[in-house]
Chains A and B, each alone.
Chain A
Amino acid sequence: MDTLKIDRVSVRYHQHTAIRDASFSARAGEIIGFIGADGAGKSSLMHAIAGVGAFDGSIRFHNTLYRSPAEAEPIKSMTALMPQGIGLVLYDMLTVQEHLNFFADIRNINKDASFIAYQQRLLQMAGLEKFTDRRAGNLSGGMMQKLSLICTLLHRPKLLILDEPTTGVDPLSRIELWDILDQIRTQEGTIILVSTAYMQEAARMDRLLLFDEGEIIALGSTEELIDSVRPMTYVLSQQTDGITTRDATYSIKPLDFAHTEPTLEALFFVNALKKGRSLPPITLSTHHEDYVRDSVIMEARGLTKRFDGFIANDCVDIRLKRGEILGLLGANGAGKTTFIKMLLGLHPIDGGELELLGRLIQNTSDRQTLKASIGYVSQHFALYNDMTVRENLLYFAAMRSIPFEKAVDKTLLYATELGFDIYLDELPLNLPLGINQRFSLAAALLHDPVVLFLDEPTSGVDAIARAQFWQLLIALKEKWGISILITTHYMSEAEFCDRIVLLRDGKKVADDTLEELYALHPNAVNFEDIFLEYYR
């Protein structure tokens, strides 16, 4: 019999429906994965199941049926929710042991011998037994997440709800987190609901729920799901009907091509095709400008950045060439954003030399002239939300002293080529994330920069928009000869980069082309494995 049964649950915020008619059930000891982009409804459903938010429909857990947070009160002694965000449930000033005591006390747990033994086992699983008197504020992101997890496990919950526990955590800690979950579900028979941003983690789950635009679009084991889209997946072709990504073409109509092995992401593409919903295509025209390929655009020698007490970047050497996509990879806190901000002059440089476009950067006036040849897209595509897309672009053009007529032409040209011309008079907040991504890129391109710095431009964006964004970046590189420095914590995106720099705790640990890295690590199946090698 199913221990947990969710029956047509919907969550609404004012006019907006976060999740519509979600139904599924789970047995004891099962791990159910929630996969989907930001805003697809994963967190809303989790909060409904945990009984911390109002919802429509009904949920049954063991023998308790509840339709509202008040009715869910009896099950709260058996459930645990770990919200999204690293270290959100922790207190910086408390030590690891103090956290365990505190969480045991608020759960009113009797601290008998069996509890002490259980707590010791949890600490060992998390590898924290040596750090019991360290303050949470001084733990790394991975350790914080492990501590948060064992704190939520102290009362031996039978239903564990984890909202993106692994996002931004280094790969080794991620594997350890999954190991803890595996042990808990076998030893305690706990149902675990876990959402993730990483498709690769699907392998560790018994069943998957795929979320898109507030709906569950598919439910089943990884194999079942992949089987369901096999007939729609073809080898790469120049087919205009379907969706073509880097390595495959998807189409609902039968095509005269061979089939290829689909990935989980294929489900999102096929779903978009079935609903006839896809972002407008990108048609970039070639810029006929002469430039020397392989000339050095940016060279950092021993770049160092110290914040009080710790070193965010320690003697990092990076060279970026013309017409190259350089991926800067690393977990949260590895120093990616700090490095980009140093390049941009937003953080002063504490050590080392920086040469941009053949010019040594020494003072602010060097920077001022360089700003004209750099384009930057910040995390979460920050733009002015009170102004329409067109007004934003015209404003940026004015700031760059581009003549008004030229600015109007250019806005229109980019809008057509990047496929957001129908959204020109909308406010950014009302647009899909994928469109915001394109138009913030357009804003960064208005002044024809030769180099683009992109800080996590793909985090939280759905699979389709991500695939198209990468196509756009590659087109920019090939047709316009633009150099791109991009940071990401999705290891799978390394496959799109010409060269990869791996950062770990502010230090550079690898700097090579993808092929060379694969050659160095012959056992690696995907880039995730290579990354892991450097974290061991």
Chain B
Amino acid sequence: MNRIFWAIVGKELLAFIRSWQLVLVVLYSFTVNVYISGSGIEMKPRNVAVGYVDDTGGGLSQKILTRLHAPEFLPPQRFGSQKELSRAIFDKEIIVGIVFDADFEKKWRQGQKTQINILLDATAASQAYTTLGYLQNIIFDITSPDIPVEIASHKLFNQNADNHTFMALTELLSIITMITVILTAVVFVREKEQGTWDIMLLMPVDPKLIILAKSFSQVLIVMVGIVISLGFIVMGIFSVPFNGSFVAFALLSFFYVWASAGIGLFIAAVARDIMQVAQLSIVVMMPLIFLSGAWTPIHAMHPVLQTISLVSPLRYYIEGTESIFYRGSGWIDLFPYFTGVIAVGGLMYWIGFRKIGRLF
């Protein structure tokens, strides 16, 4: 019994290593892909094109504009009239437009209420609104109102409030889901494509053992991928703080990968060829990742979606992983996440197992 199990695992690992395209795709996903999303996705303003119309003749307006500098802003561009500025915003050359009216500085000097008009291209919503926040801060700073309150902020768990580390980690967790689903499905569907499916069925071996061994071989591959990604990218390049227990993370990942393998089994039972595996994987994975809190915090979702997100094992996995990495939570505190991943994941693997088992 044991020997058959290891023979299948060995065969699948050999087949994986011999198909270099697949090895390349997996390596790419775990390294370059995680790196790109960690370094590429930007929430803070960066290189924002600013244009302005200044009818005041300099002074205060220039003082404000000099505060807009790299890397957040490109050097502000001057426009002759508000019409030209609007045109430039319409043509997407400028994201933020600032209009200083002729009496702007005069009123301020006289101690009267004055105003700056700001035009925002709200299609780049988050960049535009963060920019607005910047501008408000700058003006707040210059005018220094007479309220004797100072804000002392203490950033917890992620001291630089750096979202690279967060994005890289989240991307890794999504990649784990995707690669496991696809690899597990491919292992079965390739047998269908090569015509070896019948031969596999005719072996005097318990189908359960075949399914378990095949899933296990792919779980192993993904676990190696996780270690590589963690070592070289997440902790190597992005220096994500690791405050918790590595064993806890490895164990949580192991359970989670089995859950994803269950989705893979389900897809393998339905798909006829590799092409269909690719299509089905995307259809199944998108809601799973949406509902997990990888892209939007759970508490910001619609209440209905919040409830549905309870069945996404990725949700527990992401929350658990963040606790381990950033908070360094102990085993007791990780209990709910382990329970979630094992309960929902176990159910998913069981469903996939039953579904593909029917083909045997």
Q: Is the CB of A401 within 8 A of B3?
A: yes
- Greatest chain A CB density within 10 A among B3, B15, B203 is at B203
Q: Is the CB of A374 within 8 A of B19?
A: no
Complex: chain B residue closest to A377, CB-CB? B199
Task: Check B300 for interface membership: any CB of A closer than 8 A.
Answer: no
- Greatest chain A CB density within 10 A among B7, B8, B19, B196 is at B7
CA distance A398 to B15 in the complex (A): 16
Q: Which of A33-41, A226-234, A380-388 contacts B (4 or more CB under 8 A)?
A: A380-388
- Greatest chain B CB density within 10 A among A345, A378, A380, A399 is at A399
Q: Is the CB of A341 within 8 A of B198?
A: yes
Give the residue of B4, B8, B204 whose beta carbon is less than 8 angstroms from that of A371.
Answer: B204
Contact status of A383 and B202, CB under 8 A, knowing A395-B7, A398-B3: no
Residues of B within 8 A of A387 (CB): 11, 14-15, 18
Residues of B within 8 A of A395 (CB): 7, 11
Residues of A within 8 A of B11 (CB): 384, 387, 391, 395
Q: Is the CB of B198 within 8 A of A399?
A: no
Q: Is the CB of A385 within 8 A of B203?
A: no
Q: Quick one: CB contact mask for A136-147 with B, threshold 8 Å, 1 for yes? A: 000000000000
State which residues 242-264 of B face A: CB under 8 Å: none
Q: Is the CB of B195 within 8 A of A384?
A: no
Q: Is the CB of A346 within 8 A of B204?
A: no
CA distance A399 to B7 in the complex (A): 7
Complex: chain B residue closest to A455, CB-CB? B198
**How far is the CB of B300 from the nearest CB of chain A, in Å?**
46
Contact status of A398 and B194, CB under 8 A, knowing A371-B204, A372-B204, A378-B199: no
Give the residue of A378, A398, A399, A400 whose beta carbon is less than 8 angstroms from that of B195.
Answer: A378
Residues of A within 8 A of B202 (CB): 344, 346, 371, 374, 376
State which residues 216-275 of B face A: CB under 8 Å: none
- Greatest chain A CB density within 10 A among B194, B198, B201, B204 is at B204
State which residues 38-83 of A face B: CB under 8 Å: none
Task: Check A108 for interface membership: any CB of B closer than 8 A.
Answer: no
Q: Is the CB of A382 within 8 A of B7?
A: no
Complex: chain A residue closest to B204, CB-CB? A371
Q: Quick one: CB contact mask for A11-46 with B, threshold 8 Å, 1 for yes? A: 000000000000000000000000000000000000
**How far is the CB of B102 from the nearest CB of chain A, in Å?**
69
State which residues 1-25 of B face A: CB under 8 Å: 3-4, 7-8, 11, 14-15, 18-19
Residues of A within 8 A of B19 (CB): 386
Residues of A within 8 A of B14 (CB): 386-387, 391
Task: Check A368 for interface membership: any CB of B closer than 8 A.
Answer: yes
Q: Is the CB of B4 within 8 A of A382?
A: no
Complex: chain A residue closest to B194, CB-CB? A382
Contact status of A382 and B203, CB under 8 A, knowing A387-B11, A387-B15, A399-B7: no
Residues of A within 8 A of B204 (CB): 368-369, 371-372, 399-401
Residues of B within 8 A of A384 (CB): 11, 15, 194, 196
**How far is the CB of B51 from the nearest CB of chain A, in Å?**
53
Task: Check B284 for interface membership: any CB of A closer than 8 A.
Answer: no
Give the residue of A344, A372, A386, A400 whose beta carbon is less than 8 angstroms from that of B198.
Answer: A344
CA distance A341 to B196 in the complex (A): 14
Q: Is the CB of A398 within 8 A of B7?
A: yes
Task: Check B343 for interface membership: any CB of A closer than 8 A.
Answer: no
Q: Is the CB of B195 within 8 A of A380?
A: yes
Residues of A within 8 A of B7 (CB): 395, 398-399
Task: Check B205 for interface membership: any CB of A closer than 8 A.
Answer: yes
Q: Is the CB of A371 within 8 A of B196?
A: no
Contact status of A382 and B196, CB under 8 A, knowing A391-B14, A399-B7: yes
Give the residue of B15, B194, B201, B203 whose beta carbon is less than 8 angstroms from that of A400.
Answer: B203
A interface, how many residues as a size bin?
A: 20 to 34
CA distance A368 to B8 in the complex (A): 18
Task: Check A379 for interface membership: any CB of B closer than 8 A.
Answer: yes
CA distance A214 to B11 in the complex (A): 35
CA distance A325 to B15 in the complex (A): 36
**How far is the CB of A150 from the nearest CB of chain B, in Å?**
32
Residues of A within 8 A of B201 (CB): 345-346
CA distance A371 to B195 in the complex (A): 19
CA distance A141 to B205 in the complex (A): 38
Q: Quick one: CB contact mask for A288-316 with B, threshold 8 Å, 1 for yes? A: 00000000000000000000000000000
Q: Quick one: CB contact mask for A336-363 with B, threshold 8 Å, 1 for yes? A: 0000010011100000000000000000
CA distance A206 to B205 in the complex (A): 55
Q: Quick one: CB contact mask for A397-418 with B, threshold 8 Å, 1 for yes? A: 0111100000000000000000
Q: Is the CB of B3 within 8 A of A382?
A: no
Contact status of A379 and B195, CB under 8 A, knowing A386-B18, A398-B4, A399-B4: yes
**How far is the CB of A502 from the nearest CB of chain B, in Å?**
25
CA distance A384 to B194 in the complex (A): 8
**How far is the CB of A344 from the nearest CB of chain B, in Å?**
6
Complex: chain B residue closest to A344, CB-CB? B202
Complex: chain B residue closest to A340, CB-CB? B198
CA distance A344 to B204 in the complex (A): 12
**How far is the CB of B10 from the nearest CB of chain A, in Å?**
8
Residues of A within 8 A of B3 (CB): 398, 401
Q: Is the CB of A401 within 8 A of B4?
A: yes
Residues of B within 8 A of A372 (CB): 204
Give the residue of B8, B15, B195, B203 whose beta carbon is less than 8 angstroms from that of A386.
Answer: B15
Complex: chain A residue closest to B196, CB-CB? A382
- Greatest chain B CB density within 10 A among A345, A371, A384, A400 is at A384
**How far is the CB of A329 from the nearest CB of chain B, in Å?**
21
Question: Which B residues lie at the A interface, using CB under 8 A?
Answer: 3-4, 7-8, 11, 14-15, 18-19, 194-196, 198-199, 201-205
27 example contacts (A-B, Cβ-Cβ < 8 A) are as follows A341-B198, A344-B198, A344-B202, A371-B204, A374-B202, A376-B198, A376-B199, A378-B196, A378-B198, A378-B199, A380-B195, A382-B195, A382-B196, A382-B198, A384-B194, A384-B196, A386-B15, A386-B18, A387-B15, A391-B11, A396-B203, A398-B3, A398-B4, A398-B7, A399-B8, A399-B203, A401-B204
List the 9 closest A-B pairs by CB distance, nearest first. Answer: A382-B195, A398-B7, A386-B15, A371-B204, A386-B18, A399-B203, A382-B196, A372-B204, A395-B11
Additional 11 contacts, C-beta under 8 A, given A346-B202, A387-B15: A344-B198, A346-B201, A378-B195, A382-B196, A383-B196, A385-B194, A387-B11, A387-B18, A391-B11, A399-B204, A401-B3
